[in-house]
Chain A
Amino acid sequence: MATPNTPLWEVFIRSRNGLAHKHVGSLHASDATMALQAARDIYTRRGEGLSIWVVPSSAITASDPAEKAMMFEPAESKIYRHPTFYEVPEEVGHM
């Protein structure tokens, strides 16, 4: 008999105070409580985290990799958004 499927969750962990939660992987669990417990066991065995988020994978909307050129083009051409685009004389010092 085929084993019935268990929902998939994405796991996010905040490593130290001040840093954002970061995606670390995924796991299967029947509900949110079990997903949190499994995330603790799988992804924080060496004190990697101070906080865990679990999100049903089905709740994530992702950008389409086939459209990444169009999606990210507006940022590609705007080099004036970077500080190094602007010249500051050396005498002025660090800015």
Chain B
Amino acid sequence: MYTQALNTAEADDRGPEDAAKAAQFQARIDAEERIEPNDWMPSAYRKTLTRQISQHAHSEVVGMLPEGNWITRAPTLRRKAALLAKVQDECGHGLYLYAAAETLGSSREELVDAMLAGKAKYSSIFNYPTLTWADIGTIGWLVDGAAIMNQIPLCRCSYGPYARAMIRVCKEESFHQRQGYEIMLTLCRGSDEQKAMAQESLNRWWWPVLMMFGPPDATSQHSDTSTKWKIKRFSNDELRQKFVDATVPQAHYLGLSIPDPGMIQDADGHWRYSEIDWTEFKQVLAGNGPCNRDRMAARRKAHAEGAWVREAAAAYAAKRAQRQTAQAAE
């Protein structure tokens, strides 16, 4: 799951909505109660979650593209089977998330169409290319690692269907990270060329992965509402720091160096990273990353090429239903 950068809340309700209901709603959130689909909720809560969950779903689906790129070129049958299973999991995660988003009142088709029309975002990380086999290792280890960091607190999100979807996703995500790390470990224990491939991949992915956690707290304007509604439990910078602290020793174990010459460990044991280049992040979000156009084109092509399957399935179901009605009438 990859939403941190996208989870900006709508402005709080100031409209004509019932103030008493809003107060009651907030009291339920404060009491750690889960909000369920048919419960009353402020329209901004519904809108924020619909956007966050659907963008999370789009990210899972688009996230299949960079990895799918290597399925036919995986170095062994074992790696190929694992990668295929991982990509299939990502598809499943997309579906759990779409289902959760739909409980807020938008149809699956509307959500998917919004993405294909370019009106809905997905995580910036999937706009980077997978140039070498080591990138599959790095994605599992770091991209999924960052996703886990972000998703674990979402298992306690105030919206019941989202929290439940996250629990399923988290259970499956652990396999993704471990298989990625194992790929890196194998490369790092291999030839000099293999180790260099692993290092080169880490060099390219490190900064974009740190950006996955979203803009720094000082500039992130909407976090307050999401925090108040218990959609968000930790700030972008808190999660980023947790991730860095967990990852640096893993890189050291591999014998790889973090591509940040300014990185130091402070007295409390935290690894302090250098300034992140947020212009790059903004450029990628604005559609100017290395693969934005390719990703959108691939999704649109897949959707268009699947149209005949949806039509045929609907026509067959309609024919069967008609026949059943006719038989019942006899």
Contacts and interface: CB of A to CB of B under 8 A. Distances in A.
B310 A25 contact: no
Interface string B99-119: 100100001111011000000
Contacts of A42: 92, 95-96
A65 B39 contact: yes
Interface stretch (A27-35, A69-77, A85-93): A27-35
Interface stretch (B1-9, B215-223, B313-321): B313-321
Chain B interface extent, by class: 20 to 34
B314 A30 contact: yes
Contacts of B92: 41-42, 45
B108 A28 contact: yes
A8 interface: yes
A41 B89 CA distance: 10
A8 B99 CA distance: 9
Interface string A17-41: 0000000011111110010000001
A8 B85 CA distance: 25
Contact of A26 (B39, B40, B99): B99
A2 B113 contact: yes
B316 A6 contact: no
A84 interface: no
Given A6-B314, A30-B314, A30-B317, A25 B99 contact: yes
B317 A64 contact: no
A8 B102 contact: yes
A4 B109 contact: yes
A32 B317 CA distance: 9
A81 to B, nearest CB: 24
Q: How would you classify the secondary structure of chain A's contact residues: helix, strand, loop or mixed? A: loop
Contacts, number: 56
B274 interface: no
A59 interface: no
Q: How would you classify the secondary structure of chain B's contact residues: helix, strand, loop or mixed? A: helix
A11 to B, nearest CB: 10
Residue among A5, A30, A41, A42 with most chain B CB within 10 A: A30
A61 interface: no
Contacts of B168: 25
A42 B89 CA distance: 8
Contacts of B314: 4, 6, 30
Contacts of A66: 40
Given A25-B96, A25-B99, A64-B38, A6 B320 contact: no
A31 B39 contact: no
Given A31-B316, A45-B92, A62-B38, A3 B99 contact: no
Nearest to B171: A46
B257 interface: no
B77 to A, nearest CB: 19
A76 to B, nearest CB: 17
B250 interface: no
B118 to A, nearest CB: 15
A3 B112 contact: yes
A30 B316 contact: yes
Contact of B89 (A28, A45, A62): A45
Contacts of A29: 313
Nearest to B303: A3
Closest 5 pairs between A and B when the two form their complex, measured CB to CB: A30-B313, A31-B317, A30-B317, A3-B109, A26-B99
8 contacts: A2-B109, A4-B109, A5-B107, A8-B102, A27-B95, A28-B108, A31-B316, A45-B89
Interface of A: 2-6, 8, 25-31, 34, 41-42, 45-46, 62, 64-66
Given A4-B314, A6-B310, A25-B168, 12 more contacts: A2-B113, A3-B113, A3-B303, A4-B109, A5-B108, A30-B310, A31-B316, A42-B92, A45-B88, A45-B89, A64-B38, A66-B40
